[in-house]
Amino acid sequence: MDSETTKAPEQPAGDADSPWRRVQLARHPGRPHSLDYIERLVKEFQELHGDRFFGDDPAIVGGFGLLEGRPVMVVAQQKGRSTKQKLHRNFGMPKPEGYRKALRLMKLAEKFSRPVIALLDTPGAYPGIDAEERGQAEAIAVNLREMTRLKVPLVSVVIGEGGSGGALALGVGNRVLMLENAIYSVISPESCAAIIYRDAGLAEKAASALRLTAADLLHLQLVDEIVPEPAGGAQNDYDQAAALLRDALVRSLDSFAAASPADLVEQRYDKFRRMGSYFTDS
Amino acid sequence: MAWFTRDKPSVSTQRGGRTVKTEGLWEKCPGCSQILWRKTLEENGEVCPKCGYHFKIDAFARLKLLLDGEWVEHDKGLRSTDPLEFFDAQPYKQRLANMESRTKLPDAAVSVTGTLNRRKVNVCALELKFIGGSMGCVVGEKITRAIERSLAEKTPLVIVSASGGARMQEGAVSLMQMAKITAGLMRLDEAGIPFVSVLTDPTTGGVTASFAMLGDLNIAEPGALIGFAGPRVIEQTIRQKLPEGFQRSEFLLEHGFLDAVVKRSELKSFISRALDFFAGPVT
């Protein structure tokens, strides 16, 4: 387990509601990571490893357990906290085998009619030679398509950084939640600033332009619900953060209790089909 | 100080008059550095006759290459609402307007119905010149509607990609187009309607990581850059030079992610034969 005691974390400076402050909170070194939530929410969690093709990717953790007595499959992106853990988890940047493991476990849950909870927390899919060689794009693409036809409820939660396609690869849920201080974006503010202002130092400005906060995503109708965090951010109280997430997850899962497999696929399709913002010019 | 001064200022040598205008008549091949006559290149489908280098071509040239002649264009009126009210060097709305006047296209995708060797097909082609062929909500909506059209009419779908990925200026709305399009492709897959994905230079990011890799066939033109992360991003991450040929079509073929690398001149007949195989010969 990656949870370990941390020093009392300092609060990032800046306006409490500024997008840049949310970015800093979402990446806060003391912020609870997936395993911190799993430890608190999922009783008798049993981790399952491997994609059955190539290997096991520590940047994605998966397994089964009980959420308030309900059997659930969990797939989650995991960052490290200490330097050693960070390296082990590849800074939360999954490789193709991680995405394929996640899909394998989602399919396993589907086979036995168990709901799936996906926790999203990654700077992005790993941009490396080996990842490209093994088909990073293909792995993400296949996950997107297969999630859209999953016959069990899938609830995706952005708990920290929702880094572009690498996060979305676990994010095609029947319900998509976002923690209050989480971010979800097509590109990191630093990369965006490097492109549009030719200066990665202007990330703060880019963070505002990208509309990446939970409130923005809710406003754009791309997520369904914002999960509140303890005062000052989830890093201040893991137990309370977990309890707040538990309530939202239980409510979400219960809302699909009566849905048939066909309903679930239909509802998920309709939800994503509506996303977009265009008009017709005659 | 000049050594000589002209004592008769009226004498002038008309330098401009002696030059012959050659601009645009010749093109240097990035593949073999040969100087090629523009017209020869055009006649050869924008492929270098010396080394086979495939020059980039625009969306309409692509449609001409693949379709029999006439086609009907769909959803020409779709425009982005600029959901983020994005502003960089200029407001995004202004950028869109500038792009439209330059490319004569409202956004980065063209969606048509036509015939390919007499078979009715829906084709979407991305236009690289329009903000790098990037996918925002208009591209997402056009492709999704093309998929729905294919579903309703049981018509095969061909998507020709040339794109840097999801469009930054539309933020997470662009990102979600990946999910929207793949959801459509899931239905196409369940209905057993053929989808051929053609990857051309370059196809990267969220486009590769969604529909471009999900064809019943994924085929690419020779030498196309295809990947998830762009080569510069990878170089910055791993801090070393990338090997020669990395992320090119041939590399992807070798690693098992393409069904075939197909020359531009053979693309149409390849797709035609594939559709014959999938859906039976045209009656």
Q: For A41-57, what is each residue's pLDDT tens digit?
A: 999 999 999 999 999 99
Q: What is the pLDDT of residue B89?
A: 81
Return d(Cα B162, Cα B200) in angstroms, integer: 5
Q: Which of B175, B148, B146, B159 is nearest to B75 (CA)?
A: B146
**Domain membership flag for residue B25:** no
Q: What is the pLDDT of residue B238?
A: 84
**Domain membership flag for residue B48:** no
Does residue B11 have a pLDDT over 80?
Answer: no
**Domain membership flag for residue B68:** yes
> What are the tokens at B59?
């969306």
Q: Which of B101, B19, B159 is nearest to A141 (CA)?
A: B159
Stretch 180-239 of chain A: residues touching chain B, C-beta under 8 Å: 184-187, 191-192, 195-197, 209-212, 216-217, 220, 222
**Residue B80 domain boundaries:** 57-279
For residues B9-23, average pLDDT: 64
**Domain membership flag for residue B27:** no
Domain total of chain B? 1
Q: Quickly tell me which residue has 């909506």 as its tokens.
A: B141
Q: Which residues of A141-168 are buried (b: 16+ CB within 10 A; e: fewer)?
A: bbbbbbbbbbbbbbbbbbbbbbbbbbbb
Mean pLDDT, chain B, integer:
93
> What are the tokens at B191?
């209905």
Q: Which amino acid is at B257?
A: F
Residue A228, Cβ neighbours under 10 Å: how many? Answer: 16
Does residue B10 have a pLDDT over 80?
Answer: no
Which residue(s) pair with B36 in the sheet? Answer: B27
Stretch 75-134 of chain A: residues touching chain B, C-beta under 8 Å: 125, 127-129, 131-134
For B100, phi and psi rounded to 5 degrees? -65, -40
For residues A88, A92, A96, A102, the Cα torsion angle rounded to the nearest 10 degrees is 100
Q: What is the pLDDT of residue A250?
A: 98
Return d(Cα A92, Cα A74) in angstroms, integer: 16
B215 touches chain A (CB under 8 A): no
Long-range CB contacts (within 8 A, 24+) of A245-250 = A245/A37, A245/A41, A245/A157, A245/A159, A245/A179, A246/A40, A246/A41, A246/A67, A246/A68, A248/A157, A248/A177, A249/A41, A249/A67, A249/A117, A249/A155, A249/A157, A249/A177, A250/A67, A250/A68, A250/A70
Mean pLDDT, chain A, integer:
93
Q: Are B162 and B126 in contact (CB under 8 A)?
A: yes
Does residue A81 have a pLDDT over 70?
Answer: yes
> What are the tokens at B39?
């017209």
Return d(Cα A244, Cα A247) in angstroms, integer: 5
| First-last CA distance in chain B | 83
Q: What pLDDT band is residue B235 in, cutting at 50, 70 and 90?
A: confident
- Cβ-based burial of A44 (10 A; exposed 0-12, middle 13-18, buried ≥19): exposed
Does residue A275 have a pLDDT over 80?
Answer: yes
Q: What pLDDT band is residue A272 in, cutting at 50, 70 and 90?
A: very high
**Domain membership flag for residue B7:** no
For residues A77-86, average pLDDT: 95
For residue B206, the surrounding DSSP H or E stretch is helix B205-208
Does residue B136 have a pLDDT over 90?
Answer: yes
pLDDT tens digits, one per residue of A82-121:
999 999 999 999 999 999 999 999 999 999 999 999 999 9
For residues A146-154, average pLDDT: 98
Q: Which of B194, B210, B199 is nearest to B251 (CA)?
A: B199
Stretch 6-25 of chain B: residues touching chain A, C-beta under 8 Å: none
Nearest to A186 among B79, B171, B214 (CB): B171
Does residue B283 have a pLDDT over 90?
Answer: no
Q: Residue B144 and residue A171: Cβ atoms within 8 Å?
A: no
For residues A185-207, average pLDDT: 88
Coil, strand or helix: which one is A250?
helix
The mean-pLDDT minimum among B28-37, B170-179, B181-190, B255-264 falls in: B28-37
Confidence check on the interface: ipTM exceeds 0.90, yes or no: yes
Q: What is the pLDDT of residue A70?
A: 96
Angle formed at CA A104 by CA A102 and CA A105, multiple of 5 degrees: 65
Does residue A4 have a pLDDT over 90?
Answer: no
Does residue B198 have a pLDDT over 70?
Answer: yes
Taking CA–CA distances from A214, the nearest residue in chain B reads B172
User: Does the predicted TM-score (pTM) go above 0.95?
Assistant: no
Which of the residues A144, A217, A269 would you substitute to probe the B interface, choosing the one with the greatest number of B C-beta atoms within 10 Å?
A144
Q: Which residues of B31-41 are buried (b: 16+ CB within 10 A; e: fewer)?
A: beeeebeeeeb
CATH number at residue B260: 3.90.226.10
pLDDT tens digits, one per residue of A162-176:
999 999 999 999 999
| B22-26, B181-185, B236-240: range with highest mean pLDDT | B181-185
Nearest-10 crossing angle of helices A136-148, A96-111: 20
pLDDT-above-70 percentage for chain A: 94
For residues B29-37, average pLDDT: 93
Q: What pLDDT band is residue B271 in, cutting at 50, 70 and 90?
A: very high
- Cβ-based burial of B240 (10 A; exposed 0-12, middle 13-18, buried ≥19): exposed
Q: Which residue has the higher pLDDT, B8 or A202?
A: A202
Count of alpha carbons within 13 Å of A59, Cβ hemisphere only?
24
Does residue B14 have a pLDDT over 80?
Answer: no
**Domain membership flag for residue B51:** no
Return d(Cα A12, Cα A29) in angstroms, integer: 11
State the pairing for strand pair B26-28/B35-37: antiparallel
pLDDT tens digits, one per residue of A223-249:
999 999 999 999 999 999 999 999 999
Q: What pLDDT band is residue A198 in, cutting at 50, 70 and 90?
A: confident
The domains found in chain A, sorted by start residue, are: 19-271 (3.90.226.10)
Return d(Cα A100, Cα A110) in angstroms, integer: 15
pLDDT tens digits, one per residue of B80-98:
999 999 987 889 999 999 9
**Domain membership flag for residue B270:** yes
For residue B109, the surrounding DSSP H or E stretch is strand B109-116
Q: What is the pLDDT of residue B88?
A: 79
**Domain membership flag for residue B5:** no
